[in-house]
Amino acid sequence: MDFTFTEEQQAALEAARAVFADVAPDAVPSPALTHGPVADDFDRPLWRTLAGADLLGLPVAAEHGGAGLDPIALCLVLRASARVLARVPLLETYAAAHTLQRHAPAALQAEVLPRIVTGELVLTAASAGRTGHDPAQLAVNARADGTTWILDGAQTAVPWAATADRILLPAHAADGRAVLALVPRSSPGLTLNDQTSTNGERYAEVRLDSVRVEARDTLTDPAAWETLRDLLTTGTCALALGLGDRVLAMTSDYTAKREQFGFPLATFQAVAVQTADRFIDLRAMEATLWQAAWRLTTGAAGPLPPAGDIAVAKIWAAEGVRRVVQTAQHLHGGFGADTDYPLHRYHAWAKQLELSLGPAAAHEEALGELLAAHPLS
């Protein structure tokens, strides 16, 4: 594994940093002060700025107006976005665009990918299943009917569903294979039940009652769902890392300036040990993230399939981001709970990311099953 980023990847990161430099993490109300979503829509002005900086089309091929970059570049930009809690469907759009680029028919690519690049078409993706715990592809039934597919079922906790133009969601066909359907939000039979995420964002339960989707808008290659799921998961790990980076920087700055008994808090052994432990967490999160993204990018062989590296990254991201924000809250004392200070917002976002990734025990079980199926020599 080579940790050196290419010139193209580094250029994407620098462009993202320039855009996100003007984003204020507390530009919207705190979820602790609202009884519902903190806002009805995502940050449209920021979305337009991202489009103007050619950052929405990173996974899209040049023939459709994009940059044709890989999952590593996408994770670099996602990491930068999480440092400022950017309220845009960047992860979902990247994952959907990457999946469409790899698996969609040429006609569908030509229809949607150029509009993604310009920001005209906003996509989101469903991946939580009916309850958030069951396999997402089993939450919706798909049956072929001539030139259309008919979808029945429900997906919960779909981010940005109320404001996205189309939803890319998995379903299972009668033969057991997973298919992906690109469903317009306005489709007859599709209803949205509002939900509010832990970090105060507007989510939705998407219910489908005999929703018809044209065959040309359906990806029937079973690998398409795997592609979407893997990038959504790895991208969430990148968000967790970016958030953790920023929170540890805030904690280091605060403990270096805050004094007790005439000395900065950072000079106390107990404080130094806790911040050092969190630094170790972040470096482990970083190493496992890039290992997973590298496997997705190169398809390189390893002792386990890429799902093994993704499981390891998920374990470190879910556990690590929780420990980082808990330590930050502890070392900031009461100041960390002040809603005029952004730490409480990072804490809420960290909890949402942890819940999205799922419990470490589940990933360890999946890793154990992979080890049983692929014994290490």
Tokens of 314: 């998920």
User: CB of 360 within 8 A of CB of 315?
Assistant: yes
Angle at 250 between CA 200 and CA 71, to 5 degrees: 65
Please check the confidence at residue 348 and state whether its pLDDT lies above 60: yes
- Averaged pLDDT for residues 51-58: 98
- Dump pLDDT digits (tens) for 113-135: 999 999 999 999 999 988 777 78
Global confidence as pTM: 0.96
| Amino acid 365: pLDDT | 86
| Amino acid 263: pLDDT | 85
Please check the confidence at residue 363 and state whether its pLDDT lies above 90: no
- Dump pLDDT digits (tens) for 9-26: 999 999 999 999 999 998
Q: Report the C-alpha gap between 258 and 332 in whole angstroms.
A: 9
Tokens of 153: 């079922």
Q: Position of tokens 């996205």? A: 164
Confidence of residue 2 (pLDDT cuts 50, 70, 90): low
Q: Report the C-alpha gap between 81 and 17 in whole angstroms.
A: 8
Cβ neighbours for 207, distance < 8 A, ≥ 6 positions apart? 153, 154, 190, 191, 192, 193
Cβ neighbours for 192, distance < 8 A, ≥ 6 positions apart? 161, 162, 185, 204, 205, 206, 207
Cβ neighbours for 314, distance < 8 A, ≥ 6 positions apart? 233, 237, 357, 358, 360, 363
User: CB of 275 within 8 A of CB of 327?
Assistant: yes
Q: Report the C-alpha gap between 239 and 324 in whole angstroms.
A: 14
**Neighbour count for residue 15 (Cβ, 10 Å):** 17
Please check the confidence at residue 335 and state whether its pLDDT lies above 90: no
| Amino acid 1: pLDDT | 56
Ranges assigned E (strand) in the chain = 123-125, 140-145, 148-159, 166-172, 178-184, 190-196, 202-214, 218-219, 259-260, 263-264
Cβ neighbours for 262, distance < 8 A, ≥ 6 positions apart? none
Confidence of residue 199 (pLDDT cuts 50, 70, 90): very high
- Dump pLDDT digits (tens) for 144-192: 999 999 999 999 999 999 999 999 999 999 999 999 999 999 999 999 9
Q: Report the C-alpha gap between 288 and 313 in whole angstroms.
A: 5
DSSP letter at 38 equals S
- Average pLDDT of the chain to the nearest whole number: 93
DSSP letter at 333 equals G
Q: Report the C-alpha gap between 261 and 82 in whole angstroms.
A: 35
State in Å, rounded, how far the first CA of the chain is from the last one: 20
Domains in the chain with CATH codes: 7-121 (1.10.540.10), 136-220 (2.40.110.10), 223-373 (1.20.140.10)
Q: Which DSSP helix (H) or strand (E) runs through 104? A: none
Confidence of residue 282 (pLDDT cuts 50, 70, 90): very high
Total length of the chain: 377
Cβ neighbours for 249, distance < 8 A, ≥ 6 positions apart? none
